[in-house]
Amino acid sequence: MKNTFSKNNILFCAFFLFILSFSASAQVVVIDPGHGYASNGVTDPDGRTDTEHATALAVGLKLRTKLQNGCGNWTVRMTRTTRNGWISLTQRRTMSNSWNADRFISIHCNGGGGSGTETFWCNRSNSKDADNSKFSKEVQNRMVEKGQWINRRSVEDASYIFHLGVLTSNNAIGVLSEIGFVDSSDKSKLLSDSWRNKFADAYVAALENSIGNCSGGGGGGGGGSSDTTAPTTSISASGGNTQTGNFTANFSDNDNVGVTRKFYQALEKYGDNWYANRGNGFFNDNFNVLYSGYTTGAGNWNINDKHLRQSNTSSDNTKLSTYLSQNSGLPYLYEFSAKTISTSGPRKFGIHIMASDATQSQRGNSYLIWFSGEDNKVRVYETINNVLNFRAIADVPLDNKWANYKITYSPGFGVLEVFKNNRSVLKWTDSSPIKNGSTISLRTNKTVVEFDDLKVYKFRATGTQGISAGTGVTKDIRRRNGKVKSLVRDAVGNWSTPGNLDVTISSLTKENPNLLNDTYIETNEISIYPNPTNGKNLNISYQATSNESTLIQIIDISGKILKSIEDKVKETGPRNLNLGEYVSSIPNGNYFIKVRKGKNTNVFQIIKK
């Protein structure tokens, strides 16, 4: 049981790290386009030029759009959104505090005939001086970089001018940014729409680097227009490529702006094919052969030249499903390649994720990510109690060419994002997210489609990740030949190529006799099958060696004992018990079976679905 709880502690720590990183990203950002005209559209109480009013507002609106499109789990507020409607400094500060702002950016333009950009922070704000100073330097550096400005200064306000009223007593970490000068050669930049986009990009990048972990998309961090540099990721293992058991994978992730999402995958080799431990939330199939772990519904599913082909053109709901434990609050990354072969008809295909029941037509409770060549759209449906409910739609060009598709989903926060060829095409947030799933399921509609390289990765919070290896069914790698892979993404949706680490687990034989297949667990003394179980049957067989009782306990993932069964042995010999009557009444999910025979205790992970 010690190893079981150690594993749970690792999962809890990873979840806790993620919660910290995600709570850093679920921020309130207030954009303050400085000044403005009175309601008559002519009077300017501050005596500013139209260039400043227009530039500050245009850049603020562009910034808001980029954050809303690219950082869906940030709340974005603006102190003004129109040309007219003058608001005092005190009112702006009060608005920021009432919104519980985490970051505050006041956008202005300078005057006096100078040139370049500068950023101010205030030591009379209610946030820490060090935080304000750091954020000010970040904004200044990004504006210099992306706006190609002369670097004037990042400075505490009163040390150069006076205390700024919009920052004084502001609870947020905040700055006042003077983009450029309205009365010098800077003016041509300030009035340029393309440069205004770059100024907004600078603010997004500064916010990303300051806060981190924005749930970015096509319009986030850097705007999606200027940053096309993909991040990189590589992997090494503490102790080298040959391991005897559990080991630590070390990831080196790099990007020109910053890596915001990190995923990893543990694989194990069966003959010539790489598969993964589905009970641990990983999946991999390169479709060299038809994997025995699938359950097939409607459709003609077969392997065609090392691709998975569905060739039925009469069924509008074909089905190829596989068990996959999806019960972590941490994000998952689902990836596959697809190509429509049909040139007419619906030309629709997709995947159910987080599905609760593959036997039902709409897979019970799930999300269906559904691509349509008929109208060049991608749609997200949520199935609730086996009923499809439309949730979101976006344009996506589809043709009869191979394309890569990625879906990221956070069960903890309900953020679902869809990528085609590493470009974000849709993002939607479920206010009541599905927390658990036991199945993923491919689907087509009267369309011949080929699929390839179906993979599921899990989120990692840091640059290191513990990988478990050994004979136990709960281990990440249970074969002699293993592999760890990594994919990372930056704020604007650029994805890395996969990082790869091949490992040899020297303590395991090539065929690993203790893992006969995905449905049968065996040690030298105990067998439990089938696994996963539907609850009607869960057989445990063991060899009784004395007249001592055997204690069998069913335990949930929190460690709570749900059922204790005492098998009183009267004579030595084989014992066979069916635990179905106990398992059938518990909810679907992951559980542990603890078997204590005399002084020996074994713990096995099972899946009820």
Distance of CA 348 to the CA centre of its chain: 25
- Paired tokens of 30: 């207030």
Q: Which amino acid is at 385?
A: N
Domain residues of the chain, as ranges? Answer: 25-211, 261-460, 519-608
Per-residue pLDDT, 332 = 96
**Taking the model in full, what pTM does it have?**
0.58
pLDDT digits (tens, 9 = 90+) for 492-504: 778 999 999 999 9
Alpha-carbon gap, residue 560 to 579, rounded angstroms: 18
* Fold classified for 261-460: Jelly Rolls (2.60.120)
Per-residue pLDDT, 44 = 63
Q: Which of 338, 446, 454 is nearest to 401 (CA)?
A: 338
Per-residue pLDDT, 11 = 46
Per-residue pLDDT, 417 = 92
Asked if the model's pLDDT at residue 12 lies above 70, the reply is no
Per-residue pLDDT, 23 = 43
pLDDT digits (tens, 9 = 90+) for 178-208: 999 999 999 999 999 999 999 999 999 899 8
- Paired tokens of 90: 């005190």
Of the ranges 243-252, 421-430, 567-576, which is most confident? 243-252
Rg of the Cα atoms in the chain: 28
Phi/psi at 434 (nearest 5 deg)?
-70, 125
Whether 306 contacts 289, CB under 8 Å: no
Indicate the CATH number for domain 519-608: 2.60.40.3080
pLDDT digits (tens, 9 = 90+) for 244-259: 999 999 999 998 877 8
Per-residue pLDDT, 36 = 78
CATH classification of 25-211 is 3.40.710.10, yes or no?
A: no
Per-residue pLDDT, 380 = 97
Mean pLDDT of 209-234: 63
Alpha-carbon gap, residue 356 to 367, rounded angstroms: 10
pLDDT digits (tens, 9 = 90+) for 388-417: 999 999 999 999 999 999 999 999 888 899
Per-residue pLDDT, 527 = 76
Per-residue pLDDT, 1 = 36
Per-residue pLDDT, 212 = 72
Mean pLDDT of 7-11: 47
Peptide bond into 530 cis (omega under 30): yes
Per-residue pLDDT, 225 = 40
Phi/psi at 462 (nearest 5 deg)?
-130, -170
365 band by pLDDT with thresholds 50, 70 and 90: very high
43 band by pLDDT with thresholds 50, 70 and 90: low
Whether 63 contacts 56, CB under 8 Å: no
Mean pLDDT of 279-291: 92
Mean pLDDT of 471-499: 90
Per-residue pLDDT, 483 = 97
Asked if the model's pLDDT at residue 557 lies above 60, the reply is yes
pLDDT digits (tens, 9 = 90+) for 133-151: 999 999 999 999 899 999 9
Alpha helix positions (H), 105-172: 129-147, 157-160
In this predicted structure, which of 24-28, 255-259, 272-276 has the lowest mean pLDDT? 24-28
609 band by pLDDT with thresholds 50, 70 and 90: confident
Per-residue pLDDT, 546 = 66
Question: E-assigned strands of 43-124?
Answer: 75-78, 103-110, 117-121
More confident residue, 359 or 116: 116
- Tokens 């393309």 correspond to 194
Alpha-carbon gap, residue 551 to 564, rounded angstroms: 7
Residue 327: strand, helix, or coil:
coil
Alpha-carbon gap, residue 380 to 327, rounded angstroms: 21
Whether 122 contacts 89, CB under 8 Å: no
Count CB-CB contacts under 10 A for residue 481.
16
Mean pLDDT of 82-97: 86
Per-residue pLDDT, 41 = 62
Asked if the model's pLDDT at residue 529 lies above 60, the reply is yes
More confident residue, 34 or 257: 34
Per-residue pLDDT, 515 = 42
Cα-based distances in Å from 514 to 125, 179, 475, 553: 63, 66, 12, 21
In this predicted structure, which of 98-102, 155-159, 362-366 has the lowest mean pLDDT? 155-159
In this predicted structure, which of 44-48, 215-219, 259-263 has the lowest mean pLDDT? 215-219
- Paired tokens of 600: 């020996």
